[in-house]
Structure formats: C-alpha cells, structure tokens
Structure 1
Amino acid sequence: MSLKIRLARGGAKKRPFYSIVVSDSRSPRDGNFIEKIGTYNPMLPRDHAERITLKEERARHWLSVGAQPTDRVALFLGRANIIELPKVRETPKKSAPKAKAQERAKLAAAAAGSEG
C-alpha cells in the first residue's frame, strides 16, 4: 500500500479548512484516511499560531514507515523542521510575443522616439 500525507478539504463554500491526513494514495482526496495528524486553516494570518497544527511525533512515525508527503504538506513539514525544507521551483517565464510582434513593437518604439 502506497501511503500519502496530504490535505483533505473541509469547511464551507469559500471558507476552506484542511485536515492533514495519512491515507492510501488511491483513495479520494476527502475519502477514507488512516490517521489525522494535523490541520491547516488558510483563512488565518500567516503568523497566527493555529494556522498549521501538527502532531510531530505521528508525522515522524509515518515518514519513517514510508509515507510520502505532497508538495504543500512537505513545505509545512519542512518549516516545522521535521524534514528538510523542499527546494522551491522556479516560476515559469511568461511567454514573450512572437518574432513579428516583437519587430513591430521595436519599430513603433523607434518611431515614437524619433517623433519626440
């Protein structure tokens, strides 16, 4: 059985509240889970003490038996010094205009510069 430590969504519409759970990777996001090891409330300010709560001992236990955290949960565990903080991915560059559009923009800028 492949175990995941992931977020299970709860709360009302437009008011998310997440449980940090250990579950089988094949089960649905909000379906059956093995154990609840914490909570995450994104509605609270970043510096609030109850934004993320974790049972560190249980998290370490599940990691030791092979449970894999999702990206977001790995970030939480890294900030709590339970695992090494994961590397932050670079954000993708926005696509630049195609060659003809760049050429037209250069010509327009040159024309505006020579007029002024």
Structure 2
Amino acid sequence: MVVKIRLARFGRTNSPFYNIVVAHARTARNSRPLEVIGTYDPIPKKDTYDESGRLHKDIKLDITRAKYWIGVGAQPTETATRLLSMVGIVDPKYQKKPPRPSTPGKTKTSADA
C-alpha cells in the first residue's frame, strides 16, 4: 500500500496550523495517520529571541523519523517536499539554474543553423 507524507490541517478559519503526517495515500486528509512527524505554522510570527524583528514561519520536524519514512518509500506531496527541502532532508524539486556563460562576439544566425 502506498504511504504518503502530507499535511493535515488544524486550526480555525483564517488561522491554519498543520501537522506533518505519514498516512496511507487513500485516506482522507484529517483521518487518523500512521504517525505524526512534525508541525508547520504558516503564519509568520516574530521570534522572541531575535532582536532584528524578522518574521518566521515555524517548522518542527522529527528528522530521524522523516528520514526513516523516506527511506522506506513514503512519497511526500509537493508541499511536504518543499518543507522537507527547507530542513535539508530531500533535494529541492526546483532549483534556480545558474546563467549560461555567453561567448562574446559570437552570434547565431540562420545560416549557422
């Protein structure tokens, strides 16, 4: 049976809070998961220990359990992949490509093609 790492929504209207869960792929979003491996709070808040006043989104994750489930074959959803790549468990799906070096003085014409 296929196992997925995905988000289960909790919280109130306009104030979401998510659990990062491991669940069977064919179950409902808020049904009972196999395991809860972390939480994600998408509402930016000030860090009480940071003097700069920057806002941050809170991600708490049990890294060893997340690595275990990925190693066993659990497939993260797109959003879960983005969160796991922020923590450094999976490689980012989309990366910025470095610009190609251009050769000065050479242009491509229709005769060259």
Q: Structure 2 matches for 1:8-27, cutoff 5 A?
A: 8-27=8-27
| Structure 2, unaligned runs of 5 or more | 46-53, 96-113
Q: Which runs of 4+ in 1 moved over 3 A?
A: none
SS state at 2:28 partner: coil
Q: Which residue of 2 aligns with 1:70?
A: 77
Q: TM-score, normalised on structure 2?
A: 0.72
Provide the alpha-carbon RMSD of the alignment.
1.6
Q: Which residue of 1 aligns with 2:61?
A: 54
CA shift, 1:40, in A, is: 0.7
CA shift, 1:87, in A, is: 1.3
Measured in 1, the distance between the counterparts of 2:86 and 2:55 equals 13
Measured in 2, the distance between the counterparts of 1:71 and 1:39 equals 16
SS state at 2:22 partner: strand
CA shift, 1:58, in A, is: 0.3
Q: Structure 2 matches for 1:1-116, cutoff 5 A?
A: 1-45=1-45, 47-48=55-56, 51-87=58-94
Measured in 2, the distance between the counterparts of 1:32 and 1:66 equals 20
- Work out which of the two has the higher radius of gyration on C-alpha atoms and give 1 or 2: 1
Q: How many matched pairs?
A: 87
| Structure 1, unaligned runs of 5 or more | 89-116
SS state at 1:64 partner: helix
Spell out, residue by residue over 1:76-115, the C-alpha distance to the aligned partner (whole angstroms, 9 max, x if none): 1111111111116xxxxxxxxxxxxxxxxxxxxxxxxxxx
**RCO (CA 8 Å, sep 6+): is it higher in 1 or 2?**
2
Percent identity for Structure 1 against Structure 2: 43
Q: One-letter code of the match for 1:25?
A: A
More strand by share: 2
More helix by share: 1
CA shift, 1:44, in A, is: 2.5
CA shift, 1:47, in A, is: 4.8
